[in-house]
């Protein structure tokens, strides 16, 4: 729809590029993915608001800027293998799929996993693989990953995810002691048993639930 296309362009210009996201790959991905398709019926008019939105089951679709910022923080160049924890609506997985060769995404709520998979399939994202399971344990069958992004807040970085990160790869995750405030951090694997961590941005995410959450 032409109206949504104009709203999408305005979103990228005003909400994302103006706030400092500069990666052409990320900006183009945000322009290409129809966010309205990942919202519950009747909420399409809100798709390009500068805010997170509810998608049911107590979960949200993240603010567009946060999706763009987290994607840029992975420093993808194109052609990578990426793991996402917290599929939610599937929107961020679609953005990642515009850049990466393969996206593996895990959702603990079965209904959300099923709905996200259906929308991604309908939009032709055949490089996105959705699994309903405990995301804190990762997806070891397809490791190591060039990048891992976690769309839920945790008090610590799950050890399983660190083990599944490729040397030189980045893991982006919200870390905090309560559900009202976290710090987005980027963990880089610099050697087999050596990781560097940097703080990026204050954020607020739903809690990471699971064995290592």
Q: From first to last of its 213 residues, what are the pLDDT tens digits of the chain?
A: 558 999 999 999 999 999 999 999 999 999 999 999 999 988 888 999 999 999 988 899 999 999 999 999 999 999 999 999 999 999 999 999 999 999 999 999 999 999 999 999 999 999 999 999 999 999 999 999 999 999 999 999 999 999 999 999 999 999 997 777 899 999 999 999 999 999 999 998 988 988 877
Closest CA to 207 of 152, 161, 157, 139: 152
Task: State the catalytic residue, choosing from 62, 73, 89, 154.
Answer: 62
pTM: 0.95
Output the pLDDT for position 63: 95
Domains of the chain: 2-203 (3.40.50.150)
Task: Dig out the tokens for 198 from the structure.
Answer: 């940097």
| Residue that has been written with the tokens 């087999």 in this structure | 192
Give the span between the Cα atoms of 184 and 196, in whole angstroms: 14
Distances (CA, A) of 162 to 15, 39, 157, 167: 31, 31, 7, 10
Output the pLDDT for position 2: 54
- Strand pairing of 145-150 and 128-132? unpaired
DSSP 153: B
Is 62 one of the annotated active-site residues of the chain? yes
What is the three-class DSSP state of 154? strand
Instruction: Dump pLDDT digits (tens) for 106-164.
Output: 999 999 999 999 999 999 999 999 999 999 999 999 999 999 999 999 999 999 999 99
Across-strand partners of 84?
105, 149
Output the pLDDT for position 178: 74
Give CA 125 to chain center in angstroms.
Answer: 15
């Amino acid at each position: 729809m032409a109206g949504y296309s104009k709203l999408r362009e305005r979103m990228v210009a005003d909400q994302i590029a103006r706030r400092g996201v500069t990666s052409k790959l990320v900006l183009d991905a945000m322009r290409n993915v129809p966010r309205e398709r990942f919202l519950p019926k009747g909420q399409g008019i809100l798709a390009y608001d500068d805010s997170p939105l509810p998608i049911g089951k107590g979960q949200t679709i993240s603010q567009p800027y946060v999706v763009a910022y987290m994607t840029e923080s992975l420093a993808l160049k194109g052609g990578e293998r990426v793991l996402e924890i917290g599929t939610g609506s599937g929107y961020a997985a679609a953005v990642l799929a515009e850049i990466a060769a393969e996206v593996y995404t895990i959702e603990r709520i079965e209904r959300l996993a099923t709905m996200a998979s259906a929308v991604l399939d309908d939009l032709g994202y055949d490089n996105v693989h959705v699994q309903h399971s405990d995301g804190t344990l990762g997806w070891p069958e397809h490791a190591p990953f060039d990048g891992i992004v976690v769309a839920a807040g945790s008090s610590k970085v799950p050890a399983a995810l660190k083990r599944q990160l490729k040397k030189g790869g980045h893991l982006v995750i919200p870390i905090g002691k309560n559900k009202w405030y976290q710090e987005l951090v980027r963990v880089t694997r610099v050697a087999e048993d050596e990781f560097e961590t940097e703080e990026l941005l204050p954020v607020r995410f739903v809690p990471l639930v699971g064995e290592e959450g």
